[in-house]
Structure 1
Amino acid sequence: VVTDNCIKCKYTDCVEVCPVDCFYEGPNFLVIHPDECIDCALCEPECPANAIFSEDEVPAGMENFIELNAELADIWPNITEKKDALPDAEEWDGKEGKLKDLER
């Protein structure tokens, strides 16, 4: 499950290691399609923003991202290759409460 800290960062290191191409890309956020993910966890350590968690390890208060990932994965395009992070990713990395900044 991709969580809050990915918003406005959108590092794509995770995409590169995914064996099943289950990442989907929005304007400023990535999501994982829960029905395609095989729970291999290869993506988790690759995320520079530490924004990816196994569904059963999503931090308290971020459980809404489980449903959000499923919802957006159904409408956003699949991403299978690494791209540059957003230009101001480093400035946004670690800021809390970014859900309001999510662009659909």
Structure 2
Amino acid sequence: MTYVVTDNCIKCKYMDCVEVCPVDCFYEGENMLVIHPDECIDCGVCVPECPAEAIFPDTDPAATPAWLELNYEHASAWPNIIHKKTPPADADDWNGVPGKLPHFSSKPGAE
């Protein structure tokens, strides 16, 4: 099992999860974070820390195979993030907005 970041992280990117991850398995995109499934140790400490409630175990229906694939693909290309940064100024406005996948950016985050 692994944990998966899903669409509510898009344009929110709060990064509270990064601070508690014991294995630094989060990777930063321009407007979203992802978890590298091969690095995640399934501890789940990130789940309650996510204000956007965007992280799910891969056994949860919200963590569809498409989200697992997106996490894997982009974690392999984006920079690793190990410290919390400031979220986007409009993160609270985007939190909970349904259907955010069209806003997803495949560009890497700032290193």
- For the aligned pair, the TM-score class normalised by the smaller chain equals over 0.9
Q: How far does the alpha carbon of each residue in 1:24-48 deviate from its partner, in whole angstroms, 9 at most, with x for none? A: 0000000000000000000000000
Bigger proportion of residues as strand:
2
Structure 1: gaps of 5 or more residues: none
Partner in structure 2 of residue 75 of structure 1: 77
Moved over 6 A (4+): none
1:1-104 to 2 correspondences below 5 Å: 1-59=4-62, 62-104=64-106
Identity %: 63
Structure 2: gaps of 5 or more residues: 107-111
What is the TM-score with the length of structure 1 in the denominator? Answer: 0.95
Q: Separation in 2 of the partners of 1:14 and 1:57? A: 18
Q: How far does the alpha carbon of each residue in 1:11-65 deviate from its partner, in whole angstroms, 9 at most, with x for none? A: 10000000000000000000000000000000000000000001111427x4411
Bigger proportion of residues as helix:
1
RMSD, matched Cα: 1.1
Q: Separation in 2 of the partners of 1:53 and 1:34? A: 12
Aligned length: 103
